[in-house]
Structure 1
């Protein structure tokens, strides 16, 4: 019976594409996944396949469980429109969503790519603090079109939906929390099984992510369930920050109590909107089956997948977060420094002094510089990122960068007059010109900024294809690529950047 079943399955796989898949919409591309045929769209010399299910909808009894296999379908599934965003409150990374049926990914390939072409794959993990954002923000058309690679962007569960830990949940499955990480692993597994059908090479997958996506990449470097799933990795404005499971479970217990629940059944009975509006928790948890060891400890000790890495951050990470600190007086600024840094305050004020001619944004710029350089932003940016490069380069090939274009358009038009500099997430619009962060940015680029976008896509594409982005590796040169507009990107000694961030102070 087993042999007969194998013969039947092989015969079914050999069947030609149904007529409806090739004739209903003319030139629209199709592909066959392991759960059924899909029909995408073609535009700008790129084939896109949107909202492909990589796991079963995590609804009902599957809320707060490891992702299950996606169900198969008959006929040809339409894949020309974006899928649901995972539940999250409205914010700068997108509108509010309560749709738990959200475990979808998107595939972009050069038009005409065929199954078996074996193009390299860029697997993108979005940011948003593990609390918001979606793969829908990242249209891979520009990268696929210019770099001859396949691009995958992915949704994963966020906030309490993706990271809630609780004793009753752990009792069900011997673990809880990290559901968002398990989703990402399921999407990587889907890519390994299916990307050849879209013309991609499952042996040449580069995982990349920014902010929470960068934290995610570091987790995958050490997670047992991610071993062997990728050949290269990119960490943009991220670190290896995570929390111990005991801390996560205590936070989850407090959240459940606030919501009026003491067990899993009560939590699963709550409407999604109540959870979106309730207290949140969003962190990877170690001392768990998914992450047995603190990722930060593991990578610094060399216990990680030693694949080639691109690692970097933005010159002014903190300006994205601290524009609200505007309007302070000198006395208010100095009082803030003393309250935060206590006995180090005078040394810090000597390096970040109040200027003779301040304006309404001076306090925001100074506090942002302090937070950027010191690494108060969850260990990302400034000196921590430069130290991170050094630590990783002891074990694998590392290409360091810093995004240094400081005069581009900000992420939002407010507050008027605020100079965003090279703030957190500012580089995304140069890699994803249609990056959807609530305000279109790329249409305002001047010629030098369009050149920077082409250069950055070229660097990331080269790394995806060959493991070398196009600038010297950190290991042998101690150089970090300074990404600038107008073709002025150049490698800079790490010592120069350490001086700019006052790393002798922060070390």
Structure 2
């Protein structure tokens, strides 16, 4: 019933005459660009104050007022990434900017549904930056507004310790995201959007962020979004502030701030180039090598009050229309291709999840035997890829869909992306992590990141995916505006375990195989124990 009611609201929206691309956002005015495709874009809108100097390691603040007109014709610089060169001129500590795309004929009375996209990057990079929203808007029939943005990552966004908690703020990357949501609630109507009809989308760390916002403040509803569409949701190992102290201590030692009485003030005073030179991952306590991503959101007993698995298990999340889903081979791009022994496999897994016990690893090894073999790779590469892909991505998605179904959220869908790219398949990477973003946004809109086949042999999948996604954005139901001839995307149920299988010219509903259900049941059962 909820899905149908929301649809009724969505289709009642009316268009009025176009508005000037010069938009007043109270603290300044932004001059957008009207494109020949019927879409106006505003690039590089500052949604929060520059987080530098005294605002380093602080929660985001309101942007300053400026009476002059700002040309919104260039993307803002990306946020500094862990392990990246301090000389990268595409990044900056001053990075809290967003982009808005809207139909040119939209006005403040249009009340168009909004797609708010959180990019991924393992909370240590902005890895899906500056995607062009034009493709989604055209696929929607010019019926939505699209927003994407940057947020702080690595230590700039997720440094945590007793010092940061006392003299600054933790989980600032997530707070940046909420700041952008709050900005949207205030101003998106001036671009033609409806602040009461917001779908929060995201991939990887962006999809992990969706899960964290659903459970934020114990599941408190601040009215910032109204539906979620998560691609390859990621459950990393999540520490509390005390357990994260080693990260702060290591950074203080590396930067020479150890001799200062106020080490946090010292870190704030450092030249950002020098600080960035010392921004790299180190092994977690109890692990042998550094994890893929060391800085992550932390349990602060405020914004994040518990492990994500337990929050969903206890029903402490917003019960909103939702899509969750994954790719067939989620782990291949992360795991060392030269993994040749079970010892190397277990070392990798334990470095990502240091709380894994001997018993856990023995069981995982039995559930994931040696798998397919590929040239120029170790015997256990696909074995560890399969284990990691399900542990971090696929099984959490199934668990969340189950939690929604258990709590009678009927507007609840899950998918399995299995569009085969021949180049990726031949290299052994298969259908890799978040590759579906190339279809959802359109291969021409993701800054060269799309497989070539998405413009040739797999091109037929693009309009199919875009129609389901824009239908969900418009009506909170992926079926309302799906392409004629495509299958109805059945809702996920506890007794059915059915999801939509995306394949070129063969998209159809499927049931989760029994062996995957068995593996996921075990991995989810140890999720809290390994701090997911």
Answer yes or no: is the 8 Å Cα contact 1:235–1:312 preserved in 2.
Answer: yes
TM-score between both structures, scaled by the size of structure 2 = 0.79
Aligned to 2:399: 387
* Counterparts in 2 of 1:370 and 1:503: CA distance versus 1, 3 Å: same
1:380-459 alignment runs, 5 A limit: 380-381=393-394, 383-395=395-407, 396-397=409-410, 398-407=412-421, 409-410=423-424, 417-433=426-442, 439-441=448-450, 444-459=453-468
2:248 counterpart of 1:236: no
Find the residue that maps to 1:133 and give its secondary structure.
Answer: coil
102, 123, 130: which one pairs with 1:137? 130
Cα 1:47–1:354 change in 2 (3 A) is closer
How many Å apart are 1:116 and its aligned residue? 1.5
SS of 2:77's partner is: coil
Structure (1 or 2) with the greater helix fraction:
1
- Provide the alpha-carbon RMSD of the alignment: 3.1
1:255 aligns with: 251
Write out aligned runs for 1:103-502 (5 A). 103-133=96-126, 136-147=129-140, 148-173=143-168, 176-224=169-217, 227-241=222-236, 242-262=238-258, 263-278=263-278, 279-280=280-281, 281-322=294-335, 324-326=336-338, 332-334=340-342, 336=344, 348=365, 352-353=369-370, 359-361=375-377, 363=379, 364-373=381-390, 375=391, 379-381=392-394, 383-395=395-407, 396-397=409-410, 398-407=412-421, 409-410=423-424, 417-433=426-442, 439-441=448-450, 444-470=453-479, 471-475=489-493, 477-486=496-505, 488-495=506-513, 498=516
Using the TM superposition, give the Cα deviation of residue 107 of structure 1 relative to its aligned residue in structure 2, in angstroms: 0.5
| CA shift for structure 1 position 300 | 1.7
Conserved 8 A contact 1:28-1:42: no
Q: CA deviation at 1:181?
A: 0.8
Structure 2 partner of 1:15: none
Q: Which has the higher contact order (CA 8 A, sep 6+)?
A: 2
SS in 2 for 1:105: strand
Q: Give the CA deviation at 1:230.
A: 0.6
For structure 1, which segment, 440-449 or 335-344, has the greater mean C-alpha deviation from structure 2 after superposition? Answer: 335-344
Distance 2:172 2:152 in 1: 7
Residues in 2 aligned to 1:119 and 1:268: alpha-carbon distance in whole angstroms: 42
2:32 pairs with one of 9, 18, 40:
40
Indicate how the Cα distance of structure 1 residues 504 and 252 shifts in structure 2: closer, same or farther if over 3 A, else same: closer
Shift of 1:495: 3.8
The aligned counterpart of 1:10 is none
Q: SS of the counterpart of 1:450? A: coil
Q: Would you say the 8 A contact 1:87–1:272 is kept in 2? A: no
Distance in 2, Cα, partners of 1:58 & 1:440: 29
Question: Structure 1 pair 40/261, CA: closer, same or farther in 2 (3 Å)?
Answer: same
Of 133-142 and 27-36, the range deviating more from structure 2? 27-36
Question: Displacement of 1:283 after TM fit?
Answer: 0.9
Deviations 1:410-455 (A, max 9, x none): 4xxxxx9513211112112112235787744265435452221111
User: 2:286 — aligned with what?
Assistant: none
The 2-side partners of 1:452 and 1:350 are apart by 33
Moved more, 427-436 or 55-64: 427-436
Preserved contact between residue 59 and residue 170 of structure 2 (Cα < 8 Å): no
Of 232-241 and 207-216, deviating more is: 232-241
Q: Would you say the 8 A contact 1:227–1:305 is kept in 2?
A: no
Range moving further from structure 2, 470-479 or 209-218: 470-479
Mapped to 2, the partners of 1:489 and 1:497 lie a distance apart of 22
Q: Tell me, what secondary structure is at the counterpart of 2:467?
A: helix
CA deviation string 1:379-437 (max 9, x = no partner): 212x3432332133212342111111132554xxxxx9513211112112112235787
How much does 1:284 deviate?
Answer: 0.9
In the TM superposition, residue 82 of structure 1 has moved relative to its aligned partner by: 0.9
Classify 1:75/1:336 alpha carbon distance in 2 versus 1 (closer, same or farther; 3 Å): closer
Change (3 A) 1:274 1:347: closer
User: Does the 8 A contact of 2:227 with 2:321 survive in 1?
Assistant: yes
Question: Residue in 2 aligned with 1:5?
Answer: none
Q: Deviations over 1:138-176 (max 9, x none)?
A: 211100122121110011111010011233332235xx3
Distance across 2 between alignment mates of 1:207 and 1:494: 26
Distance 1:98 1:490 in 2: 42
Assess, with a 3 A threshold, how the Cα gap between structure 1 residues 223 and 96 changes in structure 2: closer, same or farther.
farther
Q: When the two structures are aligned, how many residues end up with a matched partner?
A: 461
- Checking the alignment, whether the CA contact within 8 Å between 1:219 and 1:240 is kept in structure 2 is no
SS, match of residue 137 in structure 1: coil
Partner Cα distance (2:448, 2:145) in 1 = 26
Q: Give the match for residue 53 of structure 1.
A: 46
What is the Cα deviation at residue 52 of structure 1? 0.5
1:86 to 59, 79, 94: 79
